Amino acid sequence: MTGQKSAPGWRELPHGAVPYKSSREYKTGDWGVLKPKIDFGRCTKCTLCHFYCPEGAIRMRGDGYPEVDYDFCKGCGICAAECPVKCIEMVRRG
Amino acid sequence: MTVVEQKLLGLNGDEAVAYAIKQVNPDVVAAYPITPQTIIVERFSEYVADGEVETEFIAVESEHSALSTCIGAEAAGGRAFTCTAANGLALMWEMTYIAASLRLPIVMAVVNRALSAPINIHNDHSDSMGARDSGWIQLYCENSQEAYDTAIQAWRIGEHPEVQLPVMICLDGFILSHTLENVLTLPDEVVREFIGERSFPRVQGHLGEAEFRLDPEHPITMGPLDLYDFYFEHKRPQVEAMKRALPVIEEVGREYGRISGRTYSLLHPYRLEDAEIAVVGLGSTMGTARVVVDRLRSRGVKAGLLRVRAFRPFPAHEILKALSHVEAVGVLDRCASFGALGGPLFMEVRNAFYDSAERPIISDYIYGLGGRDMSMEMLEEVFKSLEEDRRAGRPLELVRYIGLRE
C-alpha cells in the first residue's frame, strides 16, 4: 500500500473507515520473499496449482498452462508443494 | 413550535425507557434480560406481542450477541436499540468499541448496577464508567422523566450528521429503574416527527460514492482490516465527532424543550451563581443533593450543585465556566477507579482546571458502591467537609469515602 506520507490525511478519509479503493489495487504481491517459477517443459497442465493457490493468483491460460499474477502472489509455496511433477521452483524475488 | 399537550403516566425508569422506545418504533431491538434492566425487555416484548410496534424483536443468547445484532441492523441502515446492566455490559465489551468505531448510532440504555465480584444487583456507576473510553456518548439521567426524555433525544444526538456515534442512556438501577414516578409523555406522532428518519452520510466507497449503509446495489465495506498505515487516521475522526457532539446535545436538548417544556443541556446547575461550596455529580443522587442545597441555603450556607448530564463527551469548558467562582468543590463518584488518583468524574473535573487561573479546591467523595444509599445526612456531611476545606484553603483529604464503615 502507499506510504504513510503520500496517503490521505484523517480529514480526507471516508467516514467510518470505509475503504475508498478496491482490494484489487492493494498489491499484496510485494509481501513475499520467494516467488514460484514454473518449468513449462515439465508442466502437465493438471491445474492443481490453480486450485490450491489460496490467493487465486494462478490462472489457467487459453493454452492450458498456468500463469502467476505476481501482483498478488505472496510466495507461500503451496503451488510448488502440491505440484505432482515438481515443475514449480520457489526462487527469490529480484 | 409550542409545548404540546402531554399524557401523565405512572412509570418507573425502565418502563419510561420502554415507553419512549415504543414511540420511537425502531427497526430492531435485540436484548438479553439482566437485573435491573429486565423490565425494559419485558415491557418492550409485550409491545411487540400486542402489535404496538413494527420492531423486529430478537431474543438473543447473550449481551455480546445483543449488541452484535444491533451493529448488524444499524450497518444495514436500520435503527437499533438494546439495553443492559453491569455484567451484561461487561460481556458486550468487545462490541461496544466496534459499534462506536464503525460509527453506528445505536441507542442503548444502561441501567447502572455494580459489577461483580462479589455479586451485587444494586446501583453504582462502575459498569458504564468502565466503558467511558469505548467511544459512546454517555448521558446520565436524574429521574424517570429524564430517562424517557433522553431515550427520545438520544436518536437525534447519535444520528446527527456531525456526530454519528452510539449513545448510552445511563439510569440508576432500582433507584430509578424500579421506582414509580409521574412521567409526562408526548403523543406518538410528536415523537415520530421529532426523531424523523435516519439519515446517512455519503462516503467514497471502492465502487464510488454511496450512502453509509450496507446496500447490495451500492456496496461498501465496513470494518476492514486496518493496520498501521490507516488505523491512526481512522481513530482521529472519532475524537472529533465526540467534540462535535457537545453542541449537538445542547441543540437537541433545546429543541426538545420547545415541544415538551423540558429543556436539557450538558450540565444542570442549581443555585450555583453565588455558591461558595458545591458538589458535582451524576444521576439520581443529584436530586437528593438539590434538597440538601435548599436545606443548607435556608441556614445561610452558600451551597450549590452541578449535575453533569453528559459525561462523554466531557464538557470541560462548560464545567470551567460553571465552577470557576466556587471556592470548594466536592466531586461525587459512585465508582472507584482502582489505582487512580480518585474516581473517574473527579479526575476529569480536576483536570479541566489545570490551566485555569481560577481554581476551586477540588476533592473527591466516593460513595454508594453496590447500592449503598446516599442519604441527605451524608450529603450534609459532604458539604460540611467542603466548608472545612474552604476555611483551610486546601483539601484536608483528597479522596474521602462517604457512608463507609471504618
CATH number at residue B78: 3.40.50.970
Range of the domain at A53: 34-92
CB contact under 8 A, B212 and A18: yes
pLDDT for position A5: 64
B328 and B179 in a common domain: no
Whether A54 contacts chain B with CB within 8 A: no
State the pairing for strand pair B399-402/B361-367: parallel
Region B144-162: mean pLDDT is 98
With respect to residue B89, please indicate whether it lies within any of the assigned structural domains: yes
B299 and B245 in a common domain: no
B307 and B250 in a common domain: no
With respect to residue B208, please indicate whether it lies within any of the assigned structural domains: no
pLDDT for position A22: 87
B378 and B286 in a common domain: yes
Total domain count for chain A? 1
Q: Give per-residue pLDDT as tens, B16-59.
A: 999 999 999 999 999 999 999 999 999 999 999 999 999 999 99
Q: Give per-residue pLDDT as tens, B91-121.
A: 999 999 999 999 999 999 999 999 999 999 9
With respect to residue B227, please indicate whether it lies within any of the assigned structural domains: no
3 state SS of A65: coil
Region B58-65: mean pLDDT is 97
B250 and B310 in a common domain: no
pLDDT for position B150: 98
CB contact under 8 A, A18 and B221: yes
B377 and B308 in a common domain: yes
> Residue A1's pLDDT band (boundaries 50, 70, 90)?
very low
With respect to residue B354, please indicate whether it lies within any of the assigned structural domains: yes
Region A35-53: mean pLDDT is 97
Chain B interface residues facing chain A, Cβ-Cβ under 8 Å?
101-103, 164, 201, 203-207, 212, 220-224, 226, 228-230, 232-234, 236-237
CB contact under 8 A, B164 and A7: no
Region B319-337: mean pLDDT is 98
Q: Is the pLDDT of residue B356 over 60?
A: yes
With respect to residue A10, please indicate whether it lies within any of the assigned structural domains: no
pLDDT for position A26: 84
B49 and B113 in a common domain: yes
Contacts of B201 in chain A (CB under 8 A): 15-16
pTM equals 0.92
Can you give chain B as a three-state secondary structure string? CCCCCCEEEEECHHHHHHHHHHHHCCCEEEECCCCCCHHHHHHHHHHHHCCCCCCEEEECCCHHHHHHHHHHHHHCCCCEEEEECHHHHHHHHHHHHHHHHCCCCCEEEEEECCCCCCCCCCCCCHHHHHCCCCCCEEEECCCHHHHHHHHHHHHHHHCCCCCCCCEEEEEECCCCCCCCEEEEECCHHHHHHHHCCCCCCEEEEECEEEECCCCCCCCCCCCCCCCCCCHHHHHHHHHHHHHHHHHHHHHHHHHHHHHHCCCCCCEEEECCCCCCEEEEECCCHHHHHHHHHHHHHHCCCCEEEEEECEEECCCHHHHHHHHCCCCEEEEEECCCCCCCCCCHHHHHHHHHCCCCCCCCEEEEEEECHHHCCCCHHHHHHHHHHHHHHHHHCCCCCCEEEECCCC
Contacts of B232 in chain A (CB under 8 A): 10
Rounded to the nearest integer, the mean pLDDT of chain B is 97
CB contact under 8 A, A17 and B220: no
Decide if B80 contacts B26 (C-beta within 8 A).
yes
With respect to residue A78, please indicate whether it lies within any of the assigned structural domains: yes
Whether A16 contacts chain B with CB within 8 A: yes
CATH of the domain at B297: 3.40.50.920
Q: Which cell is B7 given? A: 399524557
Residue in A with minimal Cα distance to B229: A4
B337 and B253 in a common domain: no
CB contact under 8 A, B234 and A10: yes
Q: Give per-residue pLDDT as tens, B385-405.
A: 999 999 999 999 999 999 999
B271 and B308 in a common domain: yes
Name the least confident of A4-13, A72-81, B44-53, B204-213. A4-13
End-of-domain residue from the set B208, B226, B260: B260
With respect to residue B161, please indicate whether it lies within any of the assigned structural domains: yes
Total domain count for chain B? 2
With respect to residue B120, please indicate whether it lies within any of the assigned structural domains: yes
pLDDT for position A2: 46
CB contact under 8 A, B236 and A10: yes
Neighbouring CB atoms inside 10 A of B288's CB total 18
With respect to residue B241, please indicate whether it lies within any of the assigned structural domains: yes
With respect to residue B306, please indicate whether it lies within any of the assigned structural domains: yes
B247 and B195 in a common domain: yes
- List the single best residue of A1, A13, A18 to mutate versus B (max B Cβ within 10 A): A18
Range of the domain at B74: 7-200+236-260
Q: Which cell is B156 given? A: 437525534
pLDDT for position A4: 55
Residue whose C-alpha cell is 441556614:
B299
With respect to residue A59, please indicate whether it lies within any of the assigned structural domains: yes
CA nearest B379: which of B263, B256, B284, B290? B290
Q: Tell me which residue in B206, B223, B237 faces A20 most closely, judged by beta carbons.
A: B206
B389 and B256 in a common domain: no
B166 and B308 in a common domain: no
> Residue B316's pLDDT band (boundaries 50, 70, 90)?
very high
CB contact under 8 A, A20 and B204: yes
> Residue A25's pLDDT band (boundaries 50, 70, 90)?
confident
Q: Give per-residue pLDDT as tens, B236-256.
A: 999 999 999 999 999 999 999
With respect to residue A76, please indicate whether it lies within any of the assigned structural domains: yes
CATH of the domain at A39: 3.30.70.20
Q: Is the pLDDT of residue A23 over 90?
A: no
With respect to residue A47, please indicate whether it lies within any of the assigned structural domains: yes
Region B146-174: mean pLDDT is 98
Whether A7 contacts chain B with CB within 8 A: yes
pLDDT for position B305: 98
